[in-house]
Structure 1
Amino acid sequence: MMACLGRVLVPSLRTALSPRVAQRSVHLCPALCAGHNKWSKVKDIKIPKDAARARVIAKLTMMIRIAVKEGGPNPDFNLNLAHLIEQCRSKSFPKATIEAAIKGAEKSKAAAQFVYEGRGPGGFVMLIEVLTDNNTRSHQEIKRILSKHSAMLCDGARHSFSRKGVVVATKDGISLEQALEMAIEAGAEDVQESEDEEERATLQFICDMSDIRGVRAILDKLGVSTVSAGPEFVSNTRAPLHEDQLKAASNLLEALNDCQDVVRVWDNIEATS
């Protein structure tokens, strides 16, 4: 849906934990996903909050369409849909809006989901998730936007990302050291600091997709206020960009997100001084 300030190794913290728990390697790193810290503030500075919220509603509606097409309209049997409904509720979406999105997905004409791979200014890579009923139109529009912003479609960008489970929680005064200990206890692989679209501090607990429910359940028992959980693309290699490159990247990603067929864009940008 990417500013890493450095990955902190944790031997000193792990030694304070039990020997059994200490064997798990967990990394402490501000989130590599979009929407937080220095990179997010560059990226989102031109987007008024009302417009941003409208775009979030539109994108989540599209994601609900995908989930319903893939797994049906019943969230009890469609885990991805259940996660999306929860995200909508955490953002105070009206119940009628959520129900309309689900019903609209069932009645909407057939659409296909694609993920395009691209390379942007400064050498960062991105994955562009698209939902469309006309792939030729979408392909041409994506190419036009990329070309206009000195970017291009490419092969191999997917290798810079891993499909992971992400449990998002409110930070609520939790220090990064405390978050790390919680991640270890919950069985998460990473914990990352982030911000939501309203610039509220959050924590992202990264885990294997099959462990999403288990990690969230343990975090809830530990008193962590989780707000959503679901699959994400998480970058495993980063592209450092300077201020001028960040501005160009921001314009590109804003144009892509404004495209009606684009659901989400993931990037591997790291902001540098």
Structure 2
Amino acid sequence: MAGHSKWANIKRQKAVVDAKKSKTFTQLSRAIIVAARSGVPDPAGNFQLRTAIEKAKVAGIPNDNIERAIAKGAGTFNDNASFEAIRYEGYGPEGVAILIEAFTDNRNRTAADLRVAFSKNGGNLGETGCVSWMFEQKAVCVVQEVVDEEQLLEASLEGGAESYEMTEDEIAEVFTEVANLENLNQTLKDKGFQVTDAELRWIPSNSVEVTDPERARSLFKLIDTLEGLDDVQNVTANFDISEELMAVSIS
């Protein structure tokens, strides 16, 4: 988890917001479609949908786009596109295990795009199950402006959390079981904490240490390429790397 957390932290600090805005809009719109389809198309009764809408609004997606995405998921807006959530698996440089979560309306296109991305960056797309056994899905709440860890601990325990990790100054990630995400999210908010994200995440049970600068660059290029694909929602990998080498490798 450490490697992926460091990677996420550094990426948040990079000034790439404008360049990836259209990509973000595509991702978040598809997340709304799938959430609306997997439960009731009403955010009041669908936590996954409510969370997806909140993220979309923070990203600046217009309300019309959000309503259209909900309608697509509910089946009341027909554009002949049928999206489904699919998980892909593969290996990167140094044998790093990689999980890719995608929302797609064309499995063949998505698989072909992923295969090209892997092959051009020192990895290979694998079969279903080849690396997923090394990951466990957990629910995570990201909390900003944490000034009192003792209060966070108390609120987290009350909300049924299993653990928490301070990832940056005054930013914490609180982990719980998948089924408890909504409860933990609400408890933290009720206790006055600023929860900026509530999501499901794959946590690796082991990690591969990457020490070679060239392999590190190839790995980060692969992850960046995968995340740049329209069909891809999330990429998780089990690498661990020093912050110094990471900073050099992505500069």
Question: What interval of TM-score do these two structures reach, taking the shorter chain for normalisation?
Answer: 0.7 to 0.9
- Would the aligned equivalents of 2:86 and 2:103 in 1 still touch at CA under 8 Å? yes
Change (3 A) 1:119 1:180: farther
Aligned to 2:98: 126
User: Which of the numbers 158, 162, 166 marks the counterpart of 2:136?
Assistant: 162
User: Which of the numbers 30, 42, 48 marks the counterpart of 2:16?
Assistant: 48
Q: Does 1:101 align with 2:69?
A: yes
Q: Aligned with 1:73: secondary structure?
A: coil
Q: Does 1:110 align with 2:82?
A: yes
AA aligned to 1:3 is: A
- Once the two structures are superposed, the pairs formed by residues 96-245 of structure 1 within 5 Å of their partners are 96-105=64-73, 106=75, 107-108=78-79, 109-154=81-126, 155-170=129-144, 172-174=145-147, 179-194=152-167, 202-242=171-211, 243-245=213-215
Q: Does 1:71 align with 2:39?
A: yes
Percent of pairs identical after alignment? 24
Change (3 A) 1:191 1:145: same
- Would the aligned equivalents of 2:99 and 2:131 in 1 still touch at CA under 8 Å? yes
AA aligned to 1:161 is: F
Change (3 A) 1:112 1:92: closer
- The Cα offsets for residues 218-260 of structure 1, whole Å up to 9 and x where unpaired, read as 2223321112323222233222223433321111111112222
Deviates more, 1:89-98 or 1:149-158: 89-98
Q: Does 1:255 align with 2:220?
A: no
Change (3 A) 1:173 1:81: closer
How far has the Cα of 1:148 moved from its partner?
0.7
AA aligned to 1:239 is: V
Q: Aligned with 1:97: secondary structure?
A: helix
Larger RCO: 1 or 2 (CA < 8 Å, sep 6+) = 1
Q: Aligned with 2:19: secondary structure?
A: helix
How far has the Cα of 1:129 moved from its partner?
1.5
Q: Aligned with 1:54: secondary structure?
A: helix
Q: What is the RMSD of the two structures over their aligned residues, measured on CA atoms? A: 2.7
Q: Which structure 2 residue ranges, 5 or more long, are not aligned?
A: 245-251
How far has the Cα of 1:115 moved from its partner?
0.7
Q: Does 1:89 align with 2:57?
A: yes
Query: How many matched pairs?
Result: 236
Q: Aligned with 2:64: secondary structure?
A: helix
Partners of 1:174 and 1:237 in 2: CA distance: 31
Q: Aligned with 1:131: secondary structure?
A: strand
Q: Aligned with 1:110: secondary structure?
A: coil
Q: TM-score, normalised by structure 2?
A: 0.80
Q: TM-score, normalised by structure 1?
A: 0.74
Q: Which structure 1 residue ranges, 5 or more long, are not aligned?
A: 5-30
AA aligned to 1:162 is: E
Partners of 1:226 and 1:259 in 2: CA distance: 28
- Would the aligned equivalents of 2:136 and 2:202 in 1 still touch at CA under 8 Å? yes
How far has the Cα of 1:173 moved from its partner?
4.4
Q: Aligned with 2:45: secondary structure?
A: coil
Change (3 A) 1:250 1:185: same
- The Cα offsets for residues 15-37 of structure 1, whole Å up to 9 and x where unpaired, read as xxxxxxxxxxxxxxxx7485215
How far has the Cα of 1:137 moved from its partner?
2.3
AA aligned to 1:253 is: I
- Would the aligned equivalents of 2:188 and 2:195 in 1 still touch at CA under 8 Å? yes
Change (3 A) 1:201 1:249: farther
- Would the aligned equivalents of 2:91 and 2:123 in 1 still touch at CA under 8 Å? yes
Q: Aligned with 2:8: secondary structure?
A: coil
